[in-house]
Amino acid sequence: MKKIYLIIGLIILVLLGCLILVHKPREVDSSLTSVRIGYNTESLTNASIIIAYEQGYFQEYGLSPQMIPLKSGREVMQALAAGQVDIGIGGFPNFMQAMVKGAPLRFIAASASSPSYVFVRPNENLNKLTDLYGKIISVSTSGVNDLVFRTVMDEEKIDTEKMEFADIERSYLIAALINKKAVDATVVSEQDTNMLLNAGAVLLQNG
């Protein structure tokens, strides 16, 4: 089954690539702002940016994009830090590492929507975000869920310094939360919600 999804994904990427190659170059409108966009050709999630380009959505917002294909998220980050592109699209961890080292980068938006969820054990009296003070929370450090969680905490004026964080591999999440009770809560993406629900975990009510 995984091979089928991989083949389908590769076909989609090839078709999108062909669309760029066979289309005539768009006429440059001097009234539009030119912008260089670097993207990872090996990531299926970047299909949305290619479709937006092909459909002319950028032009509707006054932009004249130049699409610059790169081989990886790391290359996108390097090109952005070097000033070779104006906007870079890639995995969050690559950019976070560069920013920690002082690269003059900033996030403007997510190119893909991936909700984050906070799960806790049942009957633990953890019902609201402030109940997480003094608790240990599992979250992938420098990952998208980490960014989303901290952003929400900041917006809600909740001090994450009063919480402890642990980076636990996905395959050990259930053991850490439910069986061993090594953590009090875990922040996951939608793909892991059924796994945790089936194991008996519950959603933090306002998390």
Mark whether 93 and 124 lie in a shared domain.
no
Comparing CA positions, the residue from 172, 174, 169 lying closest to residue 195 is 174
CATH number of domain containing 147: 3.40.190.10
Mark whether 162 and 85 lie in a shared domain.
no
In this structure, the dihedral spanned by the alpha carbons of residues 181, 185, 189 and 190, taken in order and rounded to 10 degrees, is 80
> From CA 80, how far away is CA 158, in angstroms rounded?
32
Mark whether 49 and 20 lie in a shared domain.
yes
Residue 135 has pLDDT above 60, yes or no: yes
Mark whether 65 and 129 lie in a shared domain.
no
Q: What is the pLDDT of residue 5?
A: 45
Mark whether 83 and 156 lie in a shared domain.
no
Structure tokens that stand for 206 in this block: 């306002």
Q: What is the pLDDT of residue 133?
A: 96
Q: What is the pLDDT of residue 110?
A: 63
Among 56, 74, 100, give the residue marking a domain's end: 100
The model's pLDDT over 170-207, given as tens digits with 9 standing for 90+, comes to 899 999 999 999 999 999 988 899 999 999 999 997 64
Beta strands in the chain (DSSP E): 33-40, 63-70, 87-89, 116-120, 136-138, 164-166, 185-189, 202-203
Q: Higher pLDDT residue, 188 or 104?
A: 188
Mark whether 64 and 139 lie in a shared domain.
no
| Residue 106 included in any domain | no
| Residue 105 included in any domain | no
Mark whether 131 and 96 lie in a shared domain.
no
Instruction: Read off the pLDDT band of 148 (50, 70, 90).
Output: confident
Structure tokens that stand for 71 in this block: 């081989």
Mark whether 18 and 92 lie in a shared domain.
yes
Among 68, 100, 132, give the residue marking a domain's end: 100
CATH number of domain containing 10: 3.40.190
Mark whether 59 and 27 lie in a shared domain.
yes
Phi/psi for 91 (5° steps) reads: -65, 140
Domain hosting 184: range is 116-203
Comparing CA positions, the residue from 61, 53, 62, 57 lying closest to residue 25 is 53
Sequence-distant (6+) residues with CB within 8 A of 189 are 114, 115, 116, 117, 144, 145
Mark whether 87 and 129 lie in a shared domain.
no
Instruction: Give the chain's domain count.
Output: 2
pTM greater than the 0.95 cutoff: no
Q: Strand order of the sheet with strand 202-203?
A: 164-166, 136-138, 185-189, 116-120, 202-203
The model's pLDDT over 19-51, given as tens digits with 9 standing for 90+, comes to 444 444 455 456 899 999 998 887 766 777 888
Among 75, 100, 125, give the residue marking a domain's end: 100
Mark whether 138 and 178 lie in a shared domain.
yes
